[in-house]
Each structure stands twice: as structure tokens, then as C-alpha cells.
Chains A and B, each alone.
Chain A
Amino acid sequence: MSAAAAPQGMFDCRDAYVATLEELAIVDPRIVAVVNDSVGSSKLGKFRDRFPDRLINVGIAEQNMVSVGAGLANGGKIPFVSGAGCFLTARAMEQIKVDCGYSQANVKLCGISSGVAYGELGATHHSIEDVAWLRAIDKLTVIVPADPWQTGEAIRAAVAHEGPVYIRISRMPVPALDRGDAPFAIGRAETLRTGGDVAIVANGTLVHRALAAAAMLAGEGIAARVINMATVSPIDIAALAEAAATGAIVTAEEGLAHGGLGGAVAEWCARNAPVPMRMLGFPGFLPTGSAEWLMQRFGLSADGIVAAVRDVLDQRSTR
């Protein structure tokens, strides 16, 4: 997928990421960026021009990139380690586990162009396993923002939070969501729409699709609650209890259908409030296709979510 400007009314969250990072870096000299020859794909060119000493390009070396980030944190910096999500997480998994999570280093990992943003480039370049992998790492906060505002807020929250954080930053165009004044907080979900018949728990690029699905369902007389579960780890238990109270849950994420957000929700529900669930996501290595084609193909669309809601409600009514 090219880095061309997003369609009218749609945004590339990388822009919010770098704008926020630059703004914070002006007042906080601890902030540095670490990249793996990914200045362009991370959109950090302006950051580099503005803070040439604070952009550390380690070259094409993801393991070293993450370890160097941990070292920079030891030296009092707040490193934003930015690279394509597929390489950052898979190549440097042990560095994320040991140097960041286990060491509780103050490193901020930014998985750029995560999910299936690289569409046609294939499974090597898809980062659909990242949330499942990283939520298994103790002490590591995992955030999947849904839109530009939330991306910026996640960056601010990561700076304020002492400890390792993974932020999944999409390049898939998303709209700015309508929301109230609720501030973003790590570990707190957003209820974007209330409803008592079913809950749709989504994050990232699936949130606006979940809202569209809920609007369609309203036309059928189904009141769907839409929860933006931006923080997957630690997950918002109170929001999950509210979701389970509807009696049925559909999860939707631009990632594996197992192990990620859907898995986290299912684990909690199985222990505390079992309800019928459907988990929308990808099954594994994917066929060739554009990002949007893949999303449609695997039901990660408003229509797909509507179908999953009908399906889960059928199960509930026939129990």
C-alpha cells in the first residue's frame, strides 16, 4: 500500500503519532526516537530534522534496535522504538520480553503499519500476530488506538507511564471518531455506543466499522453496545462485565482471530461470565490481496460484524 494521503475525512494515524511525538519532544528532552532504517515509513523525517541528535537509526537490525532502546531508557531517555510492526515484534521478540518486559525498562515500542496494512506484500509483512504475542508478556502494556486523537493520547499516556508499552500504529485510513470528553487512560475502554442486546468489542481500525455495524443493526431493532478496547493489556474488566451483561459478544480486530483481543475477552468471560461469542479476525497466513480486500474477505467490515452479531444472537436464542 502506498503512503499516499488518506481519502477525505480519513486519517493515517502515523501523522498523529509523529505530530504528538514532536510536540512532546520540544518540552521533554528525554524523548528520543529509535528506528531500523524506518525514518520514512515511521514518518519521522521531520523529527529527525528538528532533533538530529535524538533520532537514532540503528540500520536494519531490529534486535539491536530494541536492546538499544532499553539501554537508552537506562540512560534516562524515553525511547520511542519505531519500526514496521511485523519486524519489530517477530524479529525482536526475546528483546521485547527480556530487555523491556522482564527488565521493566521504560521503552515505548511503536509497531508501525501493523495488521494487514502491507496487504499484497504478504504474510511476511503482515503484523497480525503481534497483539497475541505481546499480551503474553508480563509488565508490557499493549495499546491499539482507533483513530488520530486516540493515537496522540496513547503517545502522551505512554510518556507519562513508567514502564514498557507497545503501541500499534496503523497506516490504514480511519475516520476521527465522534466521542465525548472522556479522557484516554491506559486500561480504560471507551463505550462509544450503549445498547443491551449485544456488545461489539473492537479496537484499532475495526472500531469505526463496529460503529457502522451498530447503526445498521439499530435498523433491525438490535441495540448493540460498542466498546473500543484500545488497551488490550491490561484489559478493562469493568467494561468486559458490561459487555457480558448484554448476553452476547462479538470481538473484531485487525489481527488473528485467536490469541489477541478476542482471546483476552474470551478468557475473562469464560472465567467470570460465559456468554456466546464470535471472534472476528484473520485465520492465519493470508492470500494475496490489498489490505481492504483482506478485511472484506475475512469479515472485518460493517457487514461482517452485522453477520456475526446475527449469528451469535441466533445461538443465544436457541440455547
Chain B
Amino acid sequence: MPPPENAVALVTGGTRGIGAAITKRLQEDGYTTVTLGRTSGDVQADIGDPESVQAAFDKVRSEYGPVCVLVNNAGERRDGLTIRMSVEDWEAVIDTNLNGAFHCTRRALDDMLKARWGRIVNVSSVVALHANPGQSNYGAAKAGMLSLTRTVAREMARKGITCNAVTPGVIETDMTTDVIDKLVAGVPAGRVGQPEEVAHAVSFLCSEGAAYVNGATLAVDGAMAA
């Protein structure tokens, strides 16, 4: 069964880095894409705030169409050793990366259930599987996304809705410029990944051919977590 004709692909944090590459790729795949950002993007929302997310989804639905593809990509990093990490930094990262994915997933499922077709891809991280000192908040949020992914997959599987995750490794974006040289030494592939390589994996998971791939975590990390 194909996606509905007016189906919208919503990419959170879709204006920069990996999100921008995913948005571009889904456009090439034929989707009407909508980017959601805090201050930029086609529609604005604070994804850590459920009411703000509800308002944004209402706007997307009325102005573009039902959300049948959701890519939970928005994320932020506030690194620091756990012993020195402020509660504010912990909560802010959990709010954006994990709570944000939950709020957006909940709203998107309304449209997907009606359409009996949906694709959710959660952009997690290699640090969800392979701990990185200084990123307890980020790692916990990204690991939480993997559990959210599997649970939603099981809950919605018989409704034509899939929920999968990708775990990018060291990807060359604005968000990683400060740490990229240090991290590349730990990548078996011997190089950093490009945002387009993550977008390619997301595109596959959103495709009709991936209808039976559900609850999976696809590593896009040059074998970093292998």
C-alpha cells in the first residue's frame, strides 16, 4: 500500500546538518517536506513543549497535509562530565532529544493511524550504544529514543506504521566541528561520515520497500559501534 497522495514528511531540526540532508533526500523521493525548528524552518515549535508541538502539527495539517512520515532529528548537545553536569544541562538535552521525539511521535501517530500508513525514523546516535564520556545526557536521551522506537514499532505494526532508528557515528556537521578530529581516530572506516549518508539510510527506512523493517536500529557509523 502506498502513502496517501498528500502525505507530508516532517523533519524536526530539518534546516541544518543531517536534518537538511534528510529533508533534501525526502524531497527527491517525492515527498512534500516540512521542516520544524525552534526559530527556523517552515514551521516553528519548541519540541520540548507538548502544547507548542500540538499547535505546530495543527498548522502543518491545515497548511500542508497529514504527517505520514516523521523524522525525529532535532537535537542538541550540552557536554560535560556527569559529576559536573548541571541539572539544567541534563534536562535541556533530555527535553529536546527524547521528550521532543515523544511529543512529535504522539501527534504524528494521529495522522498515520487515520491514513493506516506511516514511517517514523528516529535519529539516535552511536553514543546510545557505545558510551562517550562527557555525554551522559545526550547518550541517555539517544538510548531512550531506541527504546521508544521499538515500543512504537510493536504498538503500531499492524496498522501499516513502521518506527525505526538510525545511529549516526561521527558525521561532518556544524554540531561536531569542535570534536571531529578527536573522534575520527575511533572510526574503523578511517573517515567521518557525510550527512547525505545518513539521509540515504533514512530514505530507505521511509520507502515502501521497507514496510517489513520495523523496530530496527540501522547503524550509519563506519563500524564504530560494531
| A associates with B | no
A residues neighboring B (CB under 8 Å) = none
B residues neighboring A (CB under 8 Å) = none
